[in-house]
Amino acid sequence: MIATIAKAFSVPEIRKKLLFVAAMLALYRLGAYIPAPGIDIDAVKDLENQLTGSNILGFLNLFSGGSLSRLSLFALGIMPYITASIILQLLTVVVPSLERLQKEGEVGQQKITQYTRYLTVALAAMQSFAYVFLFNSLSAGGASVVSNMNPANVLMIVICLTAGTTLLMWIGELITQRGIGNGISLLIFASIVSGVLPGIQTWWNNPDQVFVVMLPFIILGVIVAIVFVQEGQRRIPVQYAKRVVGRKMTSGGSTYLPLRVNMAGVIPVIFAASIMALPPTIGQLINTPAALDFAAFLSPSSWAYVVGEVFFIIIFTYFYTAVTFNPVDQADNLKKYGGFIPGVRPGRPTAEYLDRVLSRLTFPGALYLGAVAAFPTIFFNNVGGGGLFFGGTSILIVVGVALDTVKQLEAQLMMRNYEGFLK
């Protein structure tokens, strides 16, 4: 990986892309420290400790890179965009018009992306309005976080927080278009990595010496397991027959169709974390004894949260795999270009075979994602706020995004080498 990054910096075009990504991430981290207008900064500093524990606000604070605890311009992070993406992808299966748009190719995808942006702005506005009242209900030493709760001040804070999320959405899309890898995933990656120093400090100050010694080995084992399964794939042999194209005869050949054990990547983990964060957040906003008990019941360190997260990870793994890989389309493409799987008839039998193999691969891949997300979270329950950083969800996202980014770099380097060879 280090060699790949070093080679990438030696190529001017890729170096510009990497520097652009670094500049966008630096802008994101800068905005995480700029407080929203109309906020009592001293009261926010006193409340920071309440938002770094293992409750749901601490979990959301981790995904916002500490912005939520400071109530900065980027306090909402990129989570409204992820929630909007989940809603649109689920509606695509239910609403026929959205399903037709998805099948229209790039034009339809642009329309769905536009709907996602509109929904993101609406969700960010509602969420920021709710956070204003939540932070106003929290008090530190008798001082209110929101200095003045008149309509003009509340509207100004809501507009600023909504604009911050919209800006992050734009930055993520810019990174995707002009940089390396998925911009939204890189923003979440930067948010989680920003908590590495507090996490290490919490680990080092832990009174349990056995835990302090065992933690690095456990994290190393989890990372090795993640890399091993993420890179695992089932290679289905494909044979191409000889064809006559114009006056030329193309020679047949053999290749393979790679099916990864975990074709969905870290997307199901991010989606599951977003879904599970919603009910306890609403409980915190309602701020009644029953609602607070419900929020505590679904805190990120509770067994109920872990069970719910594993359930949604398995569901979203199957759902996202079905969205990204269509066996019928793959079988049609193979038949169109004269390819076939040895021992399987082209057409519908090939689609059924691919669907059967994919189902057998997706099940252990979904269990793997759920196990890796749940095990460290259960084990690190006694670490406090640092346990969120060392939790399975955080490690999965960090390692998964790092692997995908390195693959993007390798693909661009290979394309660059072929261009030099052709010239």
Torsion, CA 128, CA 132, CA 134, CA 140, rounded to 10: 140
Domain CATH for 251: 1.10.3370.10
Residue 154 pLDDT = 86
Backbone dihedral angles phi then psi of residue 167, each to the nearest 5 degrees: -65, -40
Reduced to 3 states (helix: H, G, I; strand: E, B; else coil), residue 137 is helix
Between vectors from CA 331 to CA 330 and to CA 337, what angle results, nearest 5°? 90
Residue 385 pLDDT = 43
Give CA–CA dist 323/29, Å, rounded.
Answer: 33
DSSP output for 365-381:
HHHHHHHHHHHHHHHGG
Count of structural domains, the chain: 1
Backbone dihedral angles phi then psi of residue 99, each to the nearest 5 degrees: -65, -40
- Look up the pTM and report it: 0.77
C-alpha distances out from residue 276 to 270, 273, 280, 299, 311, Å: 10, 5, 8, 9, 10
Give the full edge-to-edge strand order of the sheet including 253-260: 253-260, 233-240, 339-340
Residues in the chain with pLDDT values less than 70: 1-2, 46-59, 138-143, 242-252, 376-377, 379-392, 416-423
Question: Which region holds residue 252: left if phi is over 0, alpha if psi is between -120 and 50, else beta?
Answer: beta
Between strands 253-260 and 233-240, the pairing is antiparallel
At 145-186, the pLDDT tens digits run 777 778 888 889 899 999 999 999 999 999 988 878 788 888
Using the 8-state DSSP alphabet, how is residue 142 labeled? T
b/e 193-204 (16+ beta carbons within 10 angstroms → b): bbbeebbeebbe
What one-letter code names the amino acid at 303?
W
**Could you tell me which residues are beta bridge partners of residue 239?**
254, 340
Instruction: Name every residue whose Cβ is closer than 8 Å to that of residue 323 and which is 6 or more positions away in sequence.
Output: 89
- Alpha carbon 343 to chain centroid distance? 39
Q: Which domain holds residue 232?
A: 2-422
Exposed / middle / buried, residue 169 (Cβ in 10 Å: 0-12, 13-18, 19+): buried
- Alpha carbon 371 to chain centroid distance? 17
Assess contact for 181 and 189: CB atoms under 8 A. no
Instruction: Name every residue whose Cβ is closer than 8 Å to that of residue 377 and which is 6 or more positions away in sequence.
Output: 300, 301, 306, 387, 391, 392, 393
Residue 117 pLDDT = 92
Helix ranges restricted to H, 194-326: 196-204, 209-231, 267-286, 289-297, 303-324
C-alpha distances out from residue 138 to 43, 128, 172, 262, 294, Å: 10, 15, 32, 42, 18
* Long-range Cβ pairs for the range 4-11 (8 Å, 24+): 4/406, 4/409, 4/410, 4/413, 5/406, 5/409, 7/413, 8/409, 8/412, 8/413, 11/412, 11/413, 11/416
What one-letter code names the amino acid at 402?
A
Give CA–CA dist 347/353, Å, rounded.
Answer: 10
Backbone dihedral angles phi then psi of residue 329, each to the nearest 5 degrees: -65, -40
Residue 325 pLDDT = 83
Instruction: Name every residue whose Cβ is closer than 8 Å to that of residue 71 and which is 6 or more positions away in sequence.
Output: 35, 36, 39, 44, 131, 135, 145
Work out the end-to-end distance of the chain between its first and last CA atoms, rounded to an integer number of angstroms: 28
